[in-house]
């Protein structure tokens, strides 16, 4: 049996060789060689046509369904303090969701234990006040309590750690269960008061502020990112990126500084930053010039000169071209091979090894190009939308106006676009009015292991699940 392939190959050569021993293969016309080889293949391996109809390929598209929502969806007047400002899944298990709002509050959601093995459902885990409004006396400006970003840290036992930040101050929190005893102080021994005895023990969930990282950002913080070594994290403002050690707030190092000596020479500002999911020395940051800069901490302590730059040259120049080209967010894929970036009009998929042009450009709301002047008048053109990879890396998620969100298959299949509501139905891109620009899904998140998305629609949070069909 092991010699059968060799015997077939010898027969194949015999068919190709001329019948006369006086001639060599070089004297045989090429046409004859091709014909003999084709005749041998057709003889030894005849093709048969099946009479049955070909079976259809199984459906592998994701069907999305409404799962649950949090918040008052019927509120007529929405306060700025109630608007959801950040959203983040626990990246280790996906069993927890951190939600921050404009009032400085942090709400943590926990997966319902009864939903394990089924479609995920969440319930309120705890809520606490992370930041308070403050006044900067040196600059004579008020520092908002709005939560800019939440990042989950490494879990130790039953305790959870997370980082929260507003415009100036980053805080590290510990959420854990604590035993509380009630004491019986009326106990008497031999007619006199005795030592108190514990009467009842309760377990409560509490939070504790562990560290404060402050007074190191001159400008507004826009992003924080935890490193894969679980010991350091970076924080970025408009002109600088700092590297911090979790256990030592005083141990800070500036790794990017683009502030010029003369502020009149400033051409771009930093909009976001993100660590590589696997390589602790690699990170990226994005700018208002539409550039994604990939940096390596092993090259220089100050990474002003990036190792790679991802940039699309603008062909059509207009009054709004630079504004809509600014990259508001960028994320690595789970394996670190690709990057997804979001500008005002589109998503772009990049290969880390191909910085010259994106692999794919996915358009989100092209119909708004005719309404850029209206968007500029109401400042909506400066909105910053999130973008996310799915846990498998095959899909990307982002938001839009009129409470719409978009899920794109990076392999080129039809995207899914719908309005975040309890009646989830796929729809085409809507016709926008001025009133729709204040209904927007700026914050989105994707479960790290399951097809589950969290969409923030102004003051409401929607959970949607997808199943392959």
Q: What is the pLDDT of residues 17-57, one digit of tens each?
A: 444 444 433 344 444 433 444 333 344 334 333 333 333 33
Q: CA-CA distance, 396 to 340, in Å (whole number)?
A: 8
Mean pLDDT by 10 residues, the chain (469 residues): 42 42 41 42 38 41 91 85 95 94 95 87 94 85 93 90 95 90 66 67 87 90 94 95 92 92 91 95 94 92 88 80 93 95 95 93 91 92 95 94 93 87 86 85 95 94 91
pLDDT of residue 232: 94
pLDDT of residue 25: 36
| CA torsion angle 460 131 164 120 (round to 10) | -30
pLDDT of residue 135: 86
Answer yes or no: are the C-beta atoms of 358 and 338 closer than 8 Å: no
| CA torsion angle 346 352 354 357 (round to 10) | 10
CA atoms in the 13 A half-sphere facing the CB of 415: 22
pLDDT of residue 62: 85
CA atoms in the 13 A half-sphere facing the CB of 192: 1
Q: CA-CA distance, 4 to 1, in Å (whole number)?
A: 5
Answer yes or no: are the C-beta atoms of 332 and 396 closer than 8 Å: no
Q: CA-CA distance, 65 to 178, in Å (whole number)?
A: 38
Of 3, 5, 36, give the one whose Cα is nearest residue 19: 36
How many other CB atoms sit within 10 Å of the CB of residue 309? 13
Q: CA-CA distance, 441 to 423, in Å (whole number)?
A: 16
pLDDT of residue 185: 64
List the alpha helices (DSSP H) in 17-122: 30-44
User: Could you report how far apart the first and last alpha carbons of the chain are, in Å?
Assistant: 43
pLDDT of residue 461: 96
The model's pLDDT over 289-326, given as tens digits with 9 standing for 90+, comes to: 999 999 999 988 888 888 899 998 877 777 888 899 99
């Amino acid at each position: 049996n092991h010699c059968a392939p060799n015997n077939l190959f010898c027969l194949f050569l015999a068919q190709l060789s001329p019948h006369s021993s006086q001639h060599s293969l070089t004297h045989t016309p090429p046409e004859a060689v091709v014909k003999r080889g084709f005749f041998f293949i057709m003889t030894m391996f005849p093709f048969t046509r099946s009479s049955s109809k070909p079976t259809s390929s199984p459906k592998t598209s994701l069907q999305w369904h409404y799962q649950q929502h949090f918040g008052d969806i019927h509120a007529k007047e929405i306060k700025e303090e109630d608007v959801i400002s950040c959203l983040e899944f626990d990246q280790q298990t996906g069993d927890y969701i951190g939600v921050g709002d404009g009032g400085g509050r942090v709400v943590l959601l926990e997966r319902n234990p009864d939903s394990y093995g089924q479609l995920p459902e969440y319930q309120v885990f705890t809520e606490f006040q992370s930041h308070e409004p403050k006044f900067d006396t040196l600059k004579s400006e008020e520092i908002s309590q709005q939560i800019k970003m939440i990042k989950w840290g490494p879990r130790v036992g039953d305790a959870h750690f997370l980082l929260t930040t507003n415009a100036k101050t980053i805080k590290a929190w510990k959420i854990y269960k604590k035993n509380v005893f009630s004491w019986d102080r009326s106990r008497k021994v031999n007619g006199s008061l005795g030592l108190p005895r514990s009467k009842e023990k309760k377990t409560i969930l509490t939070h504790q502020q562990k560290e404060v990282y402050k007074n190191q950002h001159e400008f507004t913080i826009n992003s924080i990112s935890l490193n894969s070594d679980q010991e350091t994290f970076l924080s970025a403002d408009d002109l600088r990126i700092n590297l911090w050690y979790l256990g030592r707030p005083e141990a800070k190092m500036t790794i990017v500084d683009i502030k010029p000596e003369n502020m009149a020479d400033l051409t771009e500002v930093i909009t976001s930053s993100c660590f590589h999911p696997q390589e602790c020395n690699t990170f990226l940051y994005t700018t208002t010039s539409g550039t994604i800069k990939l940096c390596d901490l092993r090259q220089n302590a100050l990474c002003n000169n990036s190792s790679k730059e991802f940039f699309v040259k603008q062909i059509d120049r207009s009054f709004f071209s630079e504004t809509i080209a600014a990259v508001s967010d960028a994320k690595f894929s789970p394996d670190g091979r690709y990057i997804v970036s979001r500008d005002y009009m589109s998503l772009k998929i990049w290969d880390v090894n191909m910085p010259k042009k994106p692999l794919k450009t996915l358009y989100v709301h092209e119909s708004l190009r005719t309404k850029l002047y209206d968007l500029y008048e109401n400042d909506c053109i400066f909105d910053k939308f999130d973008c996310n990879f799915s846990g498998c890396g095959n899909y990307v998620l982002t938001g839009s106006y009129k409470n719409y969100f978009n899920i794109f298959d990076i392999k080129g299949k039809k995207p899914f676009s719908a309005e975040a509501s309890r009646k989830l139905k796929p729809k085409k891109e809507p016709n926008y009015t001025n009133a729709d620009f204040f209904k927007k899904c700026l914050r989105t998140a994707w479960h790290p292991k399951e097809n589950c998305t969290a969409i923030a629609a102004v003051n409401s949070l929607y959970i949607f699940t997808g199943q392959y069909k």
